[in-house]
Amino acid sequence: MLTNLKHKIITLSIIIASLNSSCKSGANISNKGKSVVLKEEKFKHYVDYFNTMEDENLKFAIPNDSAWSWMEKNIPLFECPQQNFEEIYYFRWWSVRKHIKNTPQGFAITEFLVDRSYADKYNMISCALGHHINEFRWVHDPKYIEQDVKIWYRGNEGKPMNKLYKFSSWTADALYNRYLVNKDEKFLLDLYPDMVTDYAVWEKDRQRKDGLFWQHDVKDGMEESLSGGRKVQNARPTINSYMYGNAVAISKMAEMKGDKETEAKFKAKADVLQQLVETKLWNKKSEFFETFTEKDTLAQVREAIGFIPWYFNLPEKSKGFEKAWEQVKDEKGFSAPFGLTTAERRSLRFRTHGTGTCEWDGAIWPFATSQTLTAMANVLNNYNQDFVEKPDYFKQLELYVQSQYYRGKPYLGEYLDETTGYWLMGDRERSRYYNHSTFNDLVITGLVGLRPRADEKIEVNPLIPQEKWDWFCLDNVLYHGNIITILWDKTGEKYKKGKGFRVFKNGKEIAFSEKLERVISE
State pLDDT tens for residues 215-260: 999 999 999 999 999 999 999 999 999 999 999 999 999 999 999 9
Q: Which whole number is the average pLDDT over 440-457?
A: 98
CB 37 within 8 A of CB 473: yes
Whether 469 maps to a domain, the answer reads yes
Does residue 486 lie within any of the structural domains?
Answer: yes
Residue 428: inside a domain, yes or no? no
24 — pLDDT class (breaks 50, 70, 90)? very low
Does a structural domain hold residue 476? Answer: yes
b/e code 440-460 from CB counts within 10 Å (16+ = b): bbbbbbbbbbbbbeeeeebbb
Q: Is residue 479 domain-resident?
A: yes
The pLDDT score that the predictor gives to residue 177 is 98
Cα dihedral across residues 64, 70, 89, 490: positive or negative: positive
What is the average per-residue pLDDT within 59-68? 98
CA distances to 162, 189, 303, 350, 417 from 328, rounded to whole Å, are 38, 38, 11, 16, 17
Q: What is the mean pLDDT of residues 199-203?
A: 98
Q: Which phi-psi region, left, alpha or beta, contains residue 129 (left: φ > 0; alpha: ψ -120 to 50)?
A: alpha
- Per-residue pLDDT averaged across 160-174, rounded? 98
Question: Which residues have a Cβ under 8 Å from the Cβ of 261 and sit 6 or more positions away?
Answer: none
pLDDT for the residue numbered 32: 53
Q: Is 513 helix (H, G, I), strand (E, B) or coil?
A: strand
What is the phi-psi region of residue 452: left when phi exceeds 0, alpha when psi lies from -120 to 50, beta otherwise?
beta
403 belongs to a structural domain: no
In angstroms, rounded to a whole number, what is the distance separating the alpha carbons of residues 489 and 473? 9
In the predicted model, is pLDDT for residue 416 greater than 80? yes
Q: What's the pLDDT at 33? A: 58
Has residue 424 been placed in a domain?
Answer: no
pLDDT (average), residues 188-214 = 98
pLDDT at 17 over 90: no
8: pLDDT strictly greater than 90? no
The arithmetic mean of pLDDT across residues 398-424, rounded, is 97
Residues forming a β-bridge with 513: 501
* pLDDT over 90 at 2, yes or no: no
Q: Name which of 221, 108, 124 is nearest 164 in CA terms.
A: 124
Number of domains the chain contains: 1
pLDDT at 522: 85
- Mean pLDDT on 316-325: 97
pLDDT score of 34: 84
Burial 61-83 (b: 16+ CB within 10 A, else e): bbebeebbebbbebbbbbbbeee
pLDDT reported for residue 206: 98
- Give the pLDDT score at 465: 98
What kind and span of H or E run contains 372? helix 366-382
Largest alpha-carbon pair distance within the chain?
Answer: 88
Question: What is d(CA 62, CA 47) in angstroms, rounded to the nearest whole number?
Answer: 13
Q: Is residue 464 part of a domain?
A: yes
- Report pLDDT for 18: 37
Q: Which domain holds residue 493?
A: 455-522
pLDDT for 14 beyond 60:
no
* C-alpha to C-alpha distance for 351 and 342, rounded to whole angstroms: 10
Q: How many Cβ atoms from other residues are within 10 Å of residue 494's Cβ?
A: 17
Percent of all residues in the chain with a pLDDT value above 70, rounded to a whole number: 94
Count CB-CB contacts under 10 A for residue 159.
12
Residue type for position 159? K
Q: Do the beta carbons of residue 432 and residue 502 sit within 8 Å?
A: no
Mean pLDDT over the full length of the chain: 94
pLDDT digits (tens, 9 = 90+) for 334-380: 999 999 999 999 999 999 999 988 999 999 999 999 999 999 999 99
Confidence of residue 31 (pLDDT cuts 50, 70, 90): low
Grouping H, G, I as helix, E, B as strand and the rest as coil, residue 471 is strand
